[in-house]
């Protein structure tokens, strides 16, 4: 552990709250700047090493010392600031300090100036125009392009709704019927009236001619079947078509 270096927090604090940095570090007001610098450095090392001291009282003293040494360094190591501090300290000891010690130290270290700059920046930002007023509206060319694009997309034919290219059902257009009809009347798949007449007629004629020519019923039946088929094919649909027309 670092060898303890003498410092005096109790006597350094004046009744009005002013801190006598010379008393704090154990130096006189006529001490050399280099001597003061070395003393502050030694105290800072000691306080850093003992900031977590098990003794609560000593721990608080070292933590307080760590807070006071930076302003002491700023006030005592630069000649112009040291002169202002000596003047203020003399007035504080006589009870005629022009302001409180905290304000004086903040001014001496430039804290108040920094705060004023930040406050000024914030005030400037507060006076700035509302964000909505600086939002750029789209120029005319952009609006025109968007309008043209929108019109083009509107006029573009929709394949889902375009019925002009779909094939029209002839049968449906003519009033009903089979949806896949091409409009022409299909031939009946089974025998119509003509086919039945031709088949019956061919069968009778074949039976009569075969029996008369061959005098045998079996050839007559075969001939009747053949003529029935020929008559069925020849007359299939013709009679029906004539009747429907």
- CATH of residue 42's domain is 1.10.287
Q: What is the rounded CA–CA span in Å between residue 168 and residue 178?
A: 13
Q: Compute φ and ψ for 238, nearest 5 degrees.
A: -70, -45
Query: Which residues partner with 13 through β-bridges?
Result: 19
Q: How confident is the model at residue 219 (pLDDT cuts 50, 70, 90)?
A: confident
Q: What is the rounded CA–CA span in Å between residue 190 and residue 199?
A: 13
Mean pLDDT of 156-168: 48
For residue 125, is it within any domain? no
Question: Tens digit of pLDDT for each residue in 42-81?
Answer: 999 999 999 999 999 999 999 999 999 999 999 999 999 9
Chosen domain end from 44, 78, 108: 108
For residue 228, is it within any domain? yes
For residue 188, is it within any domain? no
For residue 216, is it within any domain? yes
- Calculate Rg over the CA atoms of the chain: 60
Q: What is the mean pLDDT of the chain?
A: 73
Sign of CA dihedral 238, 239, 240, 241: positive
Sign of CA dihedral 162, 168, 172, 178: negative
Chosen domain end from 59, 82, 108: 108
For residue 224, what pLDDT is reported? 77
Q: What percent of the chain has pLDDT over 70?
A: 58
For residue 182, is it within any domain? no
190 pLDDT more than 90: no
For residue 178, is it within any domain? no
Q: What is the rounded CA–CA span in Å between residue 66 and residue 24?
A: 12
For residue 38, is it within any domain? yes
For residue 126, is it within any domain? no
Residue carrying structure tokens 């009569």: 208
Domain extent, residue 56, equals 9-108
- 214/176: higher pLDDT: 214
104 pLDDT more than 70: yes
Q: How many domains does the chain have?
A: 2
Chosen domain end from 108, 135, 169: 108
Kindly tell me the burial class for residue 156, based on how many C-beta atoms sit within 10 Å of its own C-beta (0-12, 13-18, 19 or more).
Answer: exposed
């Amino acid at each position: 552990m670092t060898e303890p270096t003498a410092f005096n927090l109790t006597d350094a604090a004046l009744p009005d709250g002013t801190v006598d940095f010379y008393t704090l570090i154990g130096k006189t007001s006529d001490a050399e700047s280099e001597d003061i610098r070395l003393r502050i450095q030694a105290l800072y090392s000691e306080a850093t090493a003992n900031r977590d001291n098990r003794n609560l009282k000593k721990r608080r003293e070292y933590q307080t010392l760590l807070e006071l040494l930076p302003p002491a360094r700023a006030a005592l190591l630069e000649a112009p600031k040291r002169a202002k501090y000596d003047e203020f300290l003399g007035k504080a000891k006589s009870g005629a300090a022009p302001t409180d010690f905290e304000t004086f130290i903040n001014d001496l270290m430039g804290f108040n100036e920094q705060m004023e700059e930040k406050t000024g920046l914030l005030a400037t930002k507060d006076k700035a125009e509302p964000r909505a007023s600086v939002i750029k509206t789209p120029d005319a060319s952009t609006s025109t392009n968007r309008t043209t694009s929108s019109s083009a997309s509107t006029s573009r034919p929709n394949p889902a709704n375009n019925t002009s290219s779909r094939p029209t059902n002839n049968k449906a257009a003519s009033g009903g019927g089979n949806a896949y009809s091409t409009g022409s009347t299909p031939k009946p798949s089974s025998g119509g009236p003509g086919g039945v007449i031709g088949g019956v007629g061919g069968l009778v004629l074949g039976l009569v001619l075969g029996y008369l020519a061959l005098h045998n019923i079996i050839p007559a039946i075969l001939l009747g079947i053949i003529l029935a088929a020929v008559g069925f094919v020849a007359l299939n649909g013709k009679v029906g078509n004539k009747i429907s027309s």
